[in-house]
Structure 1
Amino acid sequence: MGTIYLGSQYLHQSADQGRSWEIISPDLTTDDPTKQRHSESGGLTIDASGAETHTTIISIGPSALEEGLIWVGTDDGNVQITRDGGSSWENVRDSITGLPHGIWIPDVQASKHQPGRAYLVAEDHRRGDWTSYVYVTEDYGQTWRSLSSQNIDGFVHAIEEDPENPNLLFLGTEFGLRVSLDRGDSWMKYTAGVPAVPIRDLIVHPRDGDLVLGTHGRALIVLDDIRPLRELATDPTIRSATVHVFSPPPAYDVNIAEAIGYRSTGHAMQQAETRPNGALISFWSAEGGEGQVTVTSESTDTVYSRTVSATAGVTRFSWDLRPGGEADLMQFPNQMSVFPGTYSVTVSIDDMSSSSNLEVRGDPRNPRDMADLVAKREALVTMAEITRRVDEAREELERLIFGVESVLETLDENDDSLREEGQGLWNALRTLNERLFTGPECQGSCGGDVVASVVDQPIGRITGEDGAPSENTRTMMDQASTAADTIRSEIDRIIDGLVASYRAALISAGYTPIGGAL
Structure 2
Amino acid sequence: TWTDQDFPTAQFYNVVTTTHVPYHVCGAQQDNSTACVPSTGGALYDVGGGESGYIAPDPEDTDVFYAGSYGGLLTRINRRTGERRNINVWPDNPMGHSASDMTERFQWTFPIVIAPTNPNVLYVTSQHVWRSTNEGQSWERISPDLTRHDPSTIGPSGGPITLDQTGVETYATVFTLAPSPVDGNVIWAGSDDGVVHVTRDGGKNWQKVTPDGLPDFTRISLIDASPHAAGTAYLAGNRYQRGDPAPYVYKTSDYGKSWSKITAGIPGDDFPRTIREDKVRKGLLFLGTEQGIFVSFNDGGQWQSLRGDLPVTPVHGIAVKDNDLVIGTHGRSFYILDNISVLRQANAAMTNEPLVLFDPADAVRSVSRSVMIDYYLKAPADKVTIDILDPAGKVIRTYSGPQPPQAAAPDRPAEMEEGEAAPRQAPAARVTATAGMNRFMWDMRYPNAVDFPGMIMWAASTRGPAAPPGRYQVRVAAGGVTKTQDFQIKRNAAVPNVTDADLQAQFALAMQINERVSEANRAVIRIREIKTQINERIGKASDADLKTAGQALIDKLTDVEGEIYQHRLRSGQDPLNYPIRLNNKLAALQGTVEGGDYRPTAQALAVFKELSGRLDKELARLEAVVKTDVAEFNRRLSAAGLEPVKGTI
Range of TM-score over shorter length: 0.7 to 0.9
2-side partners of 1:341 and 1:361: how far apart? 7
Compared CA separation, residues 166 and 380, structure 1 to 2 (3 A): closer
Choose from 93, 99, 104 the match for 2:219: 104
Aligned to 2:484: 355
Conserved in 2, the CA contact under 8 Å of 1:8 and 1:57? yes
1-side partners of 2:630 and 2:182: how far apart? 86
1-side partners of 2:388 and 2:559: how far apart? 48
Conserved in 2, the CA contact under 8 Å of 1:60 and 1:70? yes
Aligned to 1:135: 250
Deviation at 1:313, TM superposition (A): 4.5
Identity over aligned residues, as a percent? 27
Aligned to 2:344: 230
Deviations 1:116-135 (A, max 9, x none): 43322221112221111112
Compared CA separation, residues 292 and 122, structure 1 to 2 (3 A): same
Aligned to 2:614: 483
Deviation at 1:189, TM superposition (A): 0.7
2-side partners of 1:451 and 1:4: how far apart? 59
Larger deviation: 359-368 or 157-166? Answer: 359-368
Conserved in 2, the CA contact under 8 Å of 1:152 and 1:187? no
Conserved in 1, the CA contact under 8 Å of 2:449 and 2:464? no
* One-letter code aligned to 2:259: W
1-side partners of 2:537 and 2:386: how far apart? 50
Choose from 59, 74, 93 the match for 2:176: 59
Aligned length in residues: 487
2-side partners of 1:112 and 1:333: how far apart? 46
Conserved in 2, the CA contact under 8 Å of 1:439 and 1:448? no
Compared CA separation, residues 42 and 216, structure 1 to 2 (3 A): farther
Larger deviation: 310-319 or 439-448? Answer: 439-448
Aligned to 1:174: 290
| 1:296 counterpart = 2:380 | no
Which runs of structure 2 are paired with 1:211-290 in the superposition (5 Å)? Answer: 211-232=325-346, 236-254=348-366, 276-287=368-379, 289=381, 290=383
Conserved in 1, the CA contact under 8 Å of 2:179 and 2:187? yes
Deviation at 1:463, TM superposition (A): 4.1
Choose from 525, 544, 566 the match for 1:438: 566
* One-letter code aligned to 2:373: I
Choose from 213, 235, 255 the match for 1:120: 235
Deviation at 1:211, TM superposition (A): 2.5
> Unpaired runs of 5+ in structure 1?
257-275
* One-letter code aligned to 1:281: I
> Unpaired runs of 5+ in structure 2?
1-118, 401-430
Aligned to 2:443: 320
1-side partners of 2:605 and 2:349: how far apart? 56
TM-score normalised by length of structure 2: 0.64
Alignment partner of 2:220: what SS? strand
Compared CA separation, residues 19 and 223, structure 1 to 2 (3 A): farther
Conserved in 2, the CA contact under 8 Å of 1:393 and 1:487? no
* One-letter code aligned to 1:280: M
Conserved in 2, the CA contact under 8 Å of 1:386 and 1:480? no
| 1:156 counterpart = 2:272 | yes
Aligned to 1:269: none
Alignment partner of 2:158: what SS? helix
1-side partners of 2:156 and 2:478: how far apart? 65
Deviation at 1:139, TM superposition (A): 3.7
Higher relative contact order (CA 8 A, sep 6+): 2
Aligned to 1:260: none
More helix by share: 1
| 1:309 counterpart = 2:432 | yes
Larger deviation: 56-65 or 394-403? Answer: 394-403
2-side partners of 1:426 and 1:227: how far apart? 58
Compared CA separation, residues 68 and 435, structure 1 to 2 (3 A): closer
Deviation at 1:185, TM superposition (A): 0.9
Deviations 1:141-173 (A, max 9, x none): 343221112444611111112233332111111
Larger deviation: 140-149 or 364-373? Answer: 364-373
2-side partners of 1:326 and 1:499: how far apart? 28
Deviations 1:60-92 (A, max 9, x none): 233344554433222222223344444444444
* One-letter code aligned to 2:338: D
Conserved in 2, the CA contact under 8 Å of 1:11 and 1:25? yes
Compared CA separation, residues 367 and 46, structure 1 to 2 (3 A): same
1-side partners of 2:385 and 2:244: how far apart? 50
Aligned to 1:19: 137
Larger deviation: 180-189 or 430-439? Answer: 430-439
1-side partners of 2:646 and 2:475: how far apart? 47
Aligned to 1:8: 126
> What RMSD, in angstroms, separates the aligned Cα atoms of the two structures?
4.0
Deviation at 1:513, TM superposition (A): 5.1
Deviations 1:249-294 (A, max 9, x none): 322223x7xxxxxxxxxxxxxxxxxxx5242333344445454222
| 1:197 counterpart = 2:313 | yes
2-side partners of 1:150 and 1:121: how far apart? 15
Alignment partner of 2:472: what SS? strand
Alignment partner of 1:37: what SS? coil
Deviation at 1:103, TM superposition (A): 2.1
Aligned to 1:264: none
Compared CA separation, residues 110 and 42, structure 1 to 2 (3 A): farther
Deviations 1:310-368 (A, max 9, x none): 5555433332221348999x999973233322222222332223322212222321555
Conserved in 2, the CA contact under 8 Å of 1:457 and 1:476? no
